[in-house]
Amino acid sequence: MTDEQEQVQPSGVWATAVGVARVRALESARENALFRDPLAQAFAAAGGLWPSAPLPDDEAARRRRLGVAFSIVIRTKFLDDLLRQASASGIRQVVLLGAGMDSRAFRMDWPEGTRLFEVDTAAPLDFKASVLRREQAVPRCERRTVTVDLREDWPGALAAAGHDPAAPTVWIAEGLLIYLPEDAVEVLLARITAQSAVGSRMGLTLGSRGVIERFGADAAPGPAASMWVSEMPDDPIGWLAGHGWEAAGHTLRERAAAYGRPISAPPQHDEGPGGLISAVRR
């Protein structure tokens, strides 16, 4: 059997990771792309999302789809920059929680000695592995995959894969927390904190208040928004401070303007799917 025949097709929550790859492939093809992800198209194609489907006719659905795609592009750039800053600060451990089709291990420059962990469940990691094999992709750092459900006791699995909690880590939870119930998010953050030496960093995306109602309510089964279950707390900075993190919050609008992609719609329509958080462990 060939790799292609064996390939599991995306389903459930992890199918969203292939949708994210589709957005990154589209962005990578732009002349003024905010990042280039050369593997994204292969992930999207393997999941049946390339060539990309036309936008829906319905104006509201169209706006929602473009809004989600825009937020993915901006958050990707935001977290790429956060990771570069973490590397520059001397951090050599990277953990991508709910890594999906994230290809940063392959597409970014990493300092010598960087160890990058991709944590996700078995189906997306297997799917990803078969695409990476076909593409003969070579990581640019020491890449390790950790197959575990993040609602379970994942720190043990991460440690078994070689993570050292005594050395600082940069953690990324991109497009993940919105899929976890609030109590699971709370436990996840406590566990991240327990594995974070002083000086560790973190980049999070949080569903903005009201986004589930605005984006998810009329989503047919299947689209990512219909699986969203949690939004950011009222005071995300205070919430993180309570866990021992000094955090800063950024809006999509502010980051988009900084990256030369200003949002022209008035602020009340600005509420994209996620707040962008950077944090340092004190």
Ligand X SMILES: C[S@@+](CC[C@H](N)C(=O)[O-])C[C@H]1O[C@@H](n2cnc3c(N)ncnc32)[C@H](O)[C@@H]1O
Instruction: Find the shortest distance in angstroms from Cβ 203 to ligand X.
Output: 11
Instruction: Find the shortest distance in angstroms from Cβ 35 to ligand X.
Output: 12
- Helix 15-28 to helix 59-88 angle (10° resolution) is 80
Residue 218 is which amino acid?
D
User: For ligand X, which is the closer residue by CB, 199 or 206?
Assistant: 206
Residues binding ligand X (CB under 6 A): 13-14, 16-17, 20, 98-102, 120-121, 124, 149-151, 174-176, 179
Cα 209 from Cα 98, distance rounded (Å): 22
User: For ligand X, which is the closer residue by CB, 159 or 265?
Assistant: 159
User: For ligand X, which is the closer residue by CB, 229 or 247?
Assistant: 229
Residue 243 is which amino acid?
H
Instruction: Find the shortest distance in angstroms from Cβ 37 to ligand X.
Output: 9
Instruction: Find the shortest distance in angstroms from Cβ 150 to ligand X.
Output: 3
Residue 209 is which amino acid?
R
Contacts of 180 (CB under 8 A, 6+ apart): 150, 151, 188, 229, 230
Strand order in the sheet with 93-97: 142-147, 115-120, 93-97, 169-173, 201-207, 274-281, 245-250
User: For ligand X, which is the closer residue by CB, 175 or 216?
Assistant: 175
User: For ligand X, which is the closer residue by CB, 226 or 241?
Assistant: 226
Instruction: Find the shortest distance in angstroms from Cβ 10 to ligand X.
Output: 9
User: For ligand X, which is the closer residue by CB, 23 or 280?
Assistant: 23
Instruction: Find the shortest distance in angstroms from Cβ 30 to ligand X.
Output: 18
Cα 213 from Cα 58, distance rounded (Å): 18
Cα 269 from Cα 19, distance rounded (Å): 23
- Strands 115-120 and 245-250, sheet pairing: unpaired
